[in-house]
Amino acid sequence: MNRIFRYSFLLVLVAHGFVGRAQLDSAARRLDSVGHADTTSRPQLAIFLPLFLDSAYDVSGSYRFDKTFPKYINPGLEFYEGAKLALDSLAKENVKLDVRIYDTRSTSQPLPQVLASPDFQRTGLILGQVVSGELQQLAAAAQRLHVPFINVNFPNDGGITNNPSLVILNSTLRTHCEGIYRFIQRNYPTKPLVCFRRKGAQEDRLKGYFMDIGHTTAGVPLNIQYVTLDDNFDGGAVMASLDSTTQTICIAGSLDEAFGNRLASMLAFLGKTYRTMLIGMPTWDNMDFTKPEFAGEEILYSTPFYINMTDSLVSSIQQSFKAKFYSRPSDMVFRGYECVFRFASLLNLRGSQLQGSIGEKKFKVFDDFNIEPVFLNRQTMTLDYFENKKLYFVRKMDGSITTVN
């Protein structure tokens, strides 16, 4: 891991201007796909990641954590590794870019300083793995430069409006509710439908989304029964809303994973008498439904990112990781590869005209992104931002994982 961090550290130093381009080693030259030629005429890509390099190294450049590896560093580093693989692939296709890697957790050069630096003003595309405060800063910088900012992870608009530079790739909760509603309309319009929920502001927001969608849908509105459960609910509280004569479609109307686990196990327990299908939230992607208490229960959830493990590129990346790091790549590695390859390719193709072409479906890697304009106020029809509206529905049952339409 020390080698990986030093590799990242060198690139961030270059991006921050602390070392010259001539000091790059051959690995770094491969990473930023710059080569040895002058980069001033090449499209510039800025990637913002939480690498925590200042806390990982002391002033002498020694790694602080000996042979351990803090978990909080993983997401940024994993995205970086995927980005590095993508840039290697682009270099093989003779795509020439000037790529800058910035550490959003840097104490030596904080984000406002980076965004005000002369080098950053040449940026033609911003990719960011961000939290809320960084989202606003990068979105404002992108709007000022009239370039796209791809928010690769944060599933929220952060209150941003009237900013067509912002692209939300990880779909918002409202979009997931819209997708769930249409999925049920398309596949189970006449089935009994129950939304089990708990008390809470977030749960009220979810219910509000479903009710608003029902009021504005072009199709026949769904007849959703809303049932509020106590935190320690039992099988009897769930059973009272089920139909023993037909399959009941159940929605877990809460992002709380403990609630979702309990509901899924209760439905599985009741499965001999009551046939159900449980539709969960996008936060269920990492929940383990292979445990015995979930046996027999059909569980679905929506996600904008789906990695098909039989894909040849997926297999190639897995083999590369196994050979280099003796480990399996995480979802964030694949996201890093996909986002950098796809949007850097568009930057190379469109250059300064990229903002008007960000929704193009060229250069697909793993996912069918459907980037659409979002108008939060239908009366003014002001374009507030762009968002990926494509969702996959993943079905998990007894250890089997498939996608459904």
Name the CATH code of domain 173-303+392-404 (choices 3.90.226.10, 3.30.590.10, 3.40.50.2300, 3.20.20.70): 3.40.50.2300
Please write down the long-range contacts of 359-364, taking CB distance under 8 Å and 24 or more positions apart: 359/386
| Cα–Cα dist 254/138, whole Å | 30
Residue intervals in the chain for CATH 3.40.50.2300: 2-171+310-369, 173-303+392-404
pLDDT attached to residue 39: 60
| Cα–Cα dist 313/303, whole Å | 20
| Cα–Cα dist 80/31, whole Å | 10
CATH for 2-171+310-369 is 3.40.50.2300
Residue with tokens 């954590």: 65
| Cα–Cα dist 344/75, whole Å | 20
Over the stretch 306-340, which tens digit does the pLDDT of each residue have?
A: 999 999 999 999 998 888 878 899 999 999 999 99
Question: What's phi and psi for 168, nearest 5 deg?
Answer: -95, 110
Spell out the alpha helix ranges (H) of 107-251: 111-116, 132-145, 173-187, 201-216, 235-239
Residue with tokens 């439908």: 193
Over the stretch 177-228, which tens digit does the pLDDT of each residue have?
A: 999 999 999 999 999 999 999 999 999 999 999 999 999 999 999 999 999 9
Over the stretch 357-404, which tens digit does the pLDDT of each residue have?
A: 999 999 999 999 999 999 988 788 899 999 999 999 999 999 899 999
Residue 38 pLDDT level (bands cut at 50, 70, 90): low
DSSP helix/strand/coil, 386 = strand
Pick 327 or 136 by higher pLDDT. Answer: 136
Nearest to 114 by CA among 42, 10, 8, 17: 17
Q: Which two tokens stand for residue 190?
A: 């006449």
With vertex at residue 46, the alpha carbon angle to CA 355 and CA 349, rounded to the nearest 5 degrees, is 45
